[in-house]
Amino acid sequence: MQTFRIKTGRRAEFVDVTDIVRRAVAEAGVEDGVCCACVPHTTAGITINESADPAVRQDILAKLEELAPHNGDYRHSEGNADSHIKASLMGSSVVVPVESGRLALGTWQAIYFCEFDGPRTRSLIVKVIKG
């Protein structure tokens, strides 16, 4: 298992962590198995989505903001209730098969750390398991 530090620069953003996860798989030396990437935060998440067109990430962030606006009517008193909702919608982990020592991602897929309460320094945990 490896833990990586992810620095975010905005309140809400997607950070491409695909290369970090690929490096962890290579260093693990696992030819066939699974890779789990986990975000141990309640106001950040992780997802797999389109890597070719940055407008997709912008659209997702815009829709999440529409669903859970930052200045919505929330009971949570810390001012980041929307971040908790958005993180729950994205999820806290992804699992990707490892085949022949490589992540089995689709041609246009990338793994994104999803920041919703930044900027911050966050953690990304990657575990590669032999199958």
- The Cα–Cα gap between 89 and 45 comes to 8
> pLDDT tier at 99 (50, 70, 90 boundaries)?
very high
Contact 103, 22 (CB under 8 A): yes
Q: Which pLDDT score, from 0 to 100, does residue 101 have?
A: 97
pTM over 0.75: yes
Read off the pLDDT of residues 52-87 as tens digits, 9 standing for 90 and up.
999 999 999 999 999 999 999 999 989 999 999 999
Residue 31 CA, chain-centre distance (Å), reads: 24
Q: Which pLDDT score, from 0 to 100, does residue 128 have?
A: 98
Q: Which pLDDT score, from 0 to 100, does residue 131 have?
A: 87
For residue 97 the two structure tokens come to: 């098969």
Q: Which residues contact 45 (CB under 8 A, 6 or more apart)?
A: 39, 86, 87, 88, 89, 90, 91, 92, 113, 114, 116
The domain locations on the chain are 2-130
Read off the pLDDT of residues 10-42 as tens digits, 9 standing for 90 and up.
999 999 999 999 999 999 999 999 999 999 999
CATH no., domain 2-130 = 2.60.120.460
- The Cα–Cα gap between 2 and 30 comes to 14
